[in-house]
Structure 1
Amino acid sequence: MSNTPDTAVRAYIDAHRAAFLDDLAEWLRIPSVSADPARAADVRRSAQWLAAKLRETGFPTVEVWETGETGTDGAPGAPAVFAEWPSGEEDAPTVLVYGHHDVQPAAREDGWHTDPFEPTAVDGRLYARGAADDKGQVFFHTLGVRAHLAATGRTAPAVNLKLLIEGEEESGSPNFPALVHARADRLACDAVIVSDTGMWSEDTPTVCTGMRGLTDCQIDLYGPDQDIHSGSFGGAVPNPATEAARLAAALHDGDRRVAIPGFYDGIVELSEAERELFAELPFDEKRWLGAAHSHGALGEAGYSTLERVWARPTAEVNGIGGGYQGPGGKTIVPSTAQLKLSFRLVAGQDADRVQQSVRAWVAAALPEGIRHEVTFWGATRPCLTPLDHPALQSVVRAMGRAFGQKIRFTREGGSGPAADLQDALGAPVLFLGISVPSDGWHAPNEKVELDLLMKGVETAAYLWGDLAASGRTDRRPSP
């Protein structure tokens, strides 16, 4: 729907590619590892570097936002970067781009072929920590908006463009929800674009339409006041380790459905159209199992593997323990046992209600003589954008122009901070990413495919015009 000439966009990108990659390499040299307190100054330097580059790009408003205090020492959180470039047109929609500038830890001795913080280009790939996750995918927006302006002759984007690039995503975004709620007026938008995701493969470009939520807990079980002799007392008193095992075994029914009463209440079921779209993807289950280091696929009856990991809620036993774990035997009834569980949530589920259901299920399942505590560590809400949402269709069209082929759809089985933006801002969340599974996020030798990175630039160049031409986007939050 945009009037942006494709040839002009591509010519601009080609002319500025080398300088763009030089700038990206400079940013990648900053070891902005948010999980390492010793790198706090580097994370701050990364934010300041990005802020300066966004000003150079043309954003008239660029700010480094401090985040709340974390830890008992009162140390500040890592800074986020906010930028804003008004369109100047009264009816232009407002779009917020989200990403992060912090990275995972990396060291040569972890198995890297090169220094992880000295970007190295080999055979069309750029190797460095953060190349794909997420500096490369954040940075493509700088060249994308410049290509958009150059090709259209505009002096400002066709949309009111905002960026929020946080500095703690790789540390669990501890301050992000509070930051978003506190700054909701500055972040107000009609749609959120998350560029911290990927595609199915180099040959099959895709758009992600949602992420699952997450809540996890530990269940502590207490029986006798101390370990006791299993010959004198076993079989006549409750055993916490046995009850932990019984809870784990009762977590699913015979069809591998979660057996906690109320767990599925309110969920948004997969439509037949979505199931057909998932089935179009060239999924090789044997290869997928190899990547999972697993020897078989198993899950909720009636659903395919992709449907299970993308669009169905799950309950997993993350750990179970209790009693003697040393060499040989020790014939006791242990005094305590523990069970760690995590629950992936889908659209329509509420984490608070799920937590209440889990607590009630545990209390009802345990016998007299077993005391228990259930501790939840937090929750991330799911997010989902309907396939027919106009803003999603703009992303699909822009990506289709850049790649020159049909764009298919995926979801993400994991969880992230996107739902915090959806909740605070009441705007739909769209995902625009060009990374592929072989990029090795969080692994040694992380890389980004340079041609795909340029496709991300091109997509961004087309997207702002398409969103503006489509009219003001739907402000209703996704289900």
Structure 2
Amino acid sequence: MSDTPDSAVRTYIDTHRAAFLADLAEWLRIPSVSAQPAHAPDVRRSAQWLAAKLTGTGFPVVETWDTPGAPAVYAEWPSGDPAAPTVLVYGHHDVQPAAREDGWDTEPFEPFTTPDGSRMYARGAADDKGQVFFHTLGVRAHLAATGRTAPAVNLKLLVEGEEESGSPHFRALVEARADRLAADVVIVSDTGMWSETTPTVCTGMRGVADCEIELHGPDQDIHSGSFGGAVPNPATVAARIVAALHDADERVTIPGFYDGITELSDAERQLIAELPFDESEWLRTAKSYGTLGEAGYTTLERVWARPTAELNGIGGGYQGPGGKTIIPKGAQLKLSFRLVSGQDPYVIEAAVKDWVAAQVPAGIRHEITFGAPTRPCLTPLDHPALQSVTRAMARAFGEKVRYTREGGSGPAADLQDVLGAPVLFLGISVPSDGWHAPNEKVEIDLLLKGVEATAYLWGDLAAHWTV
């Protein structure tokens, strides 16, 4: 039996709700802060805790994979059906730093559930331990409701321990273990929904390339009266580079920057327009006072589906009180480029290097250094696996599911790039959950909707999968 009766799933979840939340609270007490070396033993303890719980869930293969940094947890549960698709679920078990003095109302690593049982507060409750852990109860509900002894799909989990530190070793891990991680589709449970009342599925994330530019002029700061107007000023060159980065329509001027990008279809633009977006509220969240961006696109289209170039920092010359009449010896720029489907970060890097070189006059030396890039990822709306995720979410929430994208970037694109599998997003977190902020929390009813959606998903994927 590939499908899953709704009533049986809900009964199983209700019966096991208390034990599930108690286990999650136990995991949240482990301060697995990957960014702080003092917590390295806690990150390892978190991995070991999860590995033990996955074994107890029934996964016949559970392993802890070491990296040069923090360990990842891998698990797999074969379906036994040679025609079943293989699904890899991604998440992370490390968390952001947190301390009571940061503004928390309760201890961040002592989970607090509100008296009405609606919310659980703790670091990692939503990002990402809660959203990883709902897969354990979800697969058990799937088995109980269908009478199966193994999932309807070949189920794999990869839960990394360094996502909150930038995933510095993640791609190398995926490349080294690509044979074990091979999958037909990747499900990322490290994302969210539009709101408590508008369930959504994310269909893509932007990639990113970033660079630092060092501009060198004179060998030392020199007198602007004696030499000004006769030698190039690196701070002026930096300002001109920034000014030349966009045209009057806020389009990036770097030649080839938009080549090959996946344009929004009319249908996608309509779906975005249907979302209950309040621009004034969005501006309040952004602590900003007006919108600005590429002409011809709405605010949501700009942050989800259009590439960008941003100045992240600029420096050079005298910064102290009063005046100092010099031509500075150097200046610095930090730029980042958010990329969309169809853009290759390495092609963009080459284009940026050529463009910067063309902006720099004789007499100024420059160096440009790029950080590790992240590729964009996008799943077409008609992809059968996306439709399975949509149906599973709709069954769990009992209403229409809409589509969003994410303006940020993450390691999910490495899975798509290395494994050659489409990336889908299944998350239940909402904006009020406060990722990375004091008083992070998860809405417990939504968390259990995530459990329910995964219980439906595996049977739906098996029933509708096409190669």
Aligned to 1:3: 3
Query: What SS class does the counterpart of residue 143 from structure 1 fall into?
Result: helix
Within 5 A, what are the aligned runs for 1:273-352? 273-352=267-346
Q: How does 1:245-264 map to 2 (within 5 A)?
A: 245-264=239-258
Q: Give the match for residue 90 of structure 2.
A: 98
Corresponding residue of 2:408: 414
The separation in 2 between residues aligned to 1:224 and 1:90, in whole angstroms, is 69
- Name the SS for the 2:191 alignment partner: coil
Partner of 1:266 in structure 2?
Answer: 260
Q: Superposed, which structure 2 residues align to 1:61-140 within 5 Å?
A: 61-67=61-67, 69=68, 77-122=69-114, 123=116, 124-140=118-134
2:350 pairs with one of 352, 356, 374: 356
Determine helix, strand or coil for the equivalent of 1:316: strand
- Give the corresponding residue for 2:40: 40
TM value normalised by structure 1: 0.96
**How far has the Cα of 1:366 moved from its partner?**
1.2
Structure 1 residues without counterparts, runs of 5 or longer: 70-76, 475-479
Distance 2:2 2:64 in 1: 32
Give me the whole-angstrom Cα distance separating, in 1, the residues matched to 2:215 and 2:442: 47
For residues 190-269 of structure 1, the aligned pairs below 5 Å read 190-269=184-263
Distance 1:252 1:357 in 2: 15
Q: What does the per-residue CA deviation read over 1:425-478, in whole Å, with 9 as the maximum and x for residues that have no partner?
A: 111000000000000000000000000000000000000000000034x4xxxx
Q: Secondary structure at the residue paired with 2:373?
A: strand
Deviation string for 1:227-251 (max 9, x for gaps)? 0111111111110000100000000
Matching residue's letter, 2:380:
P
Matches within 5 A, 1:417-428: 417-428=411-422
CA distance in 1, matches of 2:38, 2:271: 46
> Residues 158-197 of structure 1: matches in 2 within 5 Å?
158-197=152-191
Distance (whole Å) between structure 1 residues aligned to residue 181 and residue 359 of structure 2:
46
Q: Which moved more, 1:384-393 or 1:117-126?
A: 117-126
| C-alpha distance in 2 between matches for 1:5 and 1:371 | 68
Do the aligned partners of 1:192 and 1:429 also contact (CA within 8 Å) in 2?
A: yes
Distance (whole Å) between structure 2 residues aligned to residue 2 and residue 455 of structure 1: 20
Whether contact under 8 Å (1:43, 1:167) holds in the other structure is yes
* Contact 2:202–2:425 under 8 Å retained in 1: yes
How far has the Cα of 1:2 moved from its partner?
5.5
Structure 2 partner of 1:384: 378
Counterpart of 1:181 in 2: which secondary structure? Answer: helix
For residue 463 of structure 1, what is the amino acid of its counterpart?
A: L
Counterpart CA distance in 2 for 1:92 and 1:131 is: 32
Q: How far apart, in 2, do the equivalents of 1:3 and 1:469 lie?
A: 8
Residue identity opposite 1:109 in structure 2: E
Task: Give the Cα separation in 1 of the matches to 2:279 and 2:8.
Answer: 41
CA distance in 2, matches of 1:367, 1:198: 47
Contact 2:309/2:337 (8 A) holds in 1: yes
1:447-466 correspondence to structure 2 within 5 Å: 447-466=441-460
After superposition, give the CA deviation of every residue in 1:246-297 in whole Å (9 maximum; x if it has no partner): 0000000000000111111111111111100000000000000000000000
Distance 2:358 2:156 in 1: 49
Amino acid at match of 1:218: E
Equivalent residue for 1:393, pick from 363, 377, 387: 387
Aligned residues: 465
Partners of 1:85 and 1:3 in 2: CA distance = 18
CA contact (8 A) 1:64 1:79 kept: yes
Q: Identify the residue that residue 372 of structure 1 maps to in structure 2.
A: 366
> Identity percentage over the alignment?
81
SS in 2 for 1:317: strand
In 1, Cα distance between equivalents of 2:224 and 2:3: 79
Supply the distance in 2 between the matched residues of 1:3 and 1:181 (Cα, whole angstroms).
34
Per-residue deviation at 1:3? Answer: 2.5
Contact 1:125 1:450 in 2 (8 A): yes
Q: Secondary structure at the match of 1:378?
A: coil
C-alpha distance in structure 2 between counterparts of 1:457 and 1:79, whole Å: 25
For 2:113, what is the secondary structure of its paired residue? strand
**Separation (CA, whole Å) in 2 of partners of 1:362 and 1:55:** 53
Structure 1 contact 2–462 (Cα < 8 Å) conserved: no
User: RMSD between aligned alpha carbons?
Assistant: 0.8
Do 1:206 and 1:409's aligned partners in 2 also have CA atoms closer than 8 Å?
yes
Counterpart for residue 18 of structure 1: 18
Equivalent residue of 1:201, what SS?
A: coil
Q: Which amino acid aligns with 1:139?
A: F
| Alignment TM-score, normalising by the size of structure 2 | 0.99
Checking the alignment, whether the CA contact within 8 Å between 1:112 and 1:444 is kept in structure 2 is yes
* In structure 1, C-alpha distance between the alignment counterparts of 2:418 and 2:372, rounded to whole Å: 17
Give the Cα separation in 2 of the matches to 1:130 and 1:110: 15
Quick one: which amino acid aligns to residue 82 of structure 1?
Y
Match of 1:72 in 2: none
**AA of the residue aligned to 2:79:** S
